[in-house]
A and B are shown apart, each in its own frame.
Chain A
Amino acid sequence: AQKITQTQPGMFVQEKEAVTLDCTYDTSDPSYGLFWYKQPSSGEMIFLIYQGSYDQQNATEGRYSLNFQKARKSANLVISASQLGDSAMYFCAMREGSNFGNEKLTFGTGTRLTIIP
């Protein structure tokens, strides 16, 4: 079974609109971390936001917020007021186990986001 599922291979969004990128995960470990990365066409992986399984509040970083619904095992990324520079591939990833000593990430298949002017 897939550990990380991103069901949207591609999305087109009008500039300045908000966009939600879906991510569901599967783990039996009570301790885990969820990440979102942005990969522009140049290839580098840019860290966006992190949510720990025990975090009480949804993570936010500037225009990025993570809609964490633990019971549904979903960790959707919300980008507010989208910009042309947001066009890129977006990957959801999970680290199972505690922070220390286990940093392997499992990535989803990604969502290609295109912002339309």
Chain B
Amino acid sequence: GAVVSQHPSWVICKSGTSVKIECRSLDFQATTMFWYRQFPKQSLMLMATSNEGSKATYEQGVEKDKFLINHASLTLSTLTVTSAHPEDSSFYICSARELVYTGELFFGEGSRLTVL
């Protein structure tokens, strides 16, 4: 199957700093990528839909100024957590659909963010 890679896989940062997480489709072009957030022992919650070359669509309750999403190319989407606080500590997972949509979504390995 297609491969989606996230980087970094884990990151620790100080409160108030910004952290960037990358989501790359390694062997296919992804017009659309999705960013999810997962708190410990909880389910995945969709944060936003990222479309190449256009603004991301955020789910209700997600602060777009805090979680900046950029989808500059068909293989890369980035999520930047700005002015991170301890409550932003979570597991962030991206998924991607291929240019020629086959019905399947491919997930990255996830990025664990810990804000001190």
Q: How far is the CB of A59 from chain B (nearest CB, A)?
A: 12
Main secondary structure of the interface of A (DSSP, over half): loop
Whether A44 pairs with B32 at a CB distance below 8 angstroms is: no
B:46-99 near A, CB below 8 Å: 46, 49, 91, 93, 95, 97
Whether B93 pairs with A45 at a CB distance below 8 angstroms is: yes
Q: How long is the Cα–Cα vector from A100 to B106 in the complex, in angstroms? A: 15
Q: A44's contact among B49, B97, B105, B109, by CB below 8 Å, is which? A: B109
Does A109 reach chain B (CB closer than 8 Å)? Answer: yes
Q: How far is the CB of A29 from chain B (nearest CB, A)?
A: 16
Does A107 reach chain B (CB closer than 8 Å)? Answer: yes
Does A105 reach chain B (CB closer than 8 Å)? Answer: yes
Q: How far is the CB of A16 from chain B (nearest CB, A)?
A: 27
Q: How far is the CB of A14 from chain B (nearest CB, A)?
A: 24
Does A72 reach chain B (CB closer than 8 Å)? Answer: no
Whether B101 pairs with A100 at a CB distance below 8 angstroms is: yes
Whether B34 pairs with A103 at a CB distance below 8 angstroms is: yes
Does A42 reach chain B (CB closer than 8 Å)? Answer: yes
**Which residue on chain A has the smallest CB distance to residue B10?**
A43
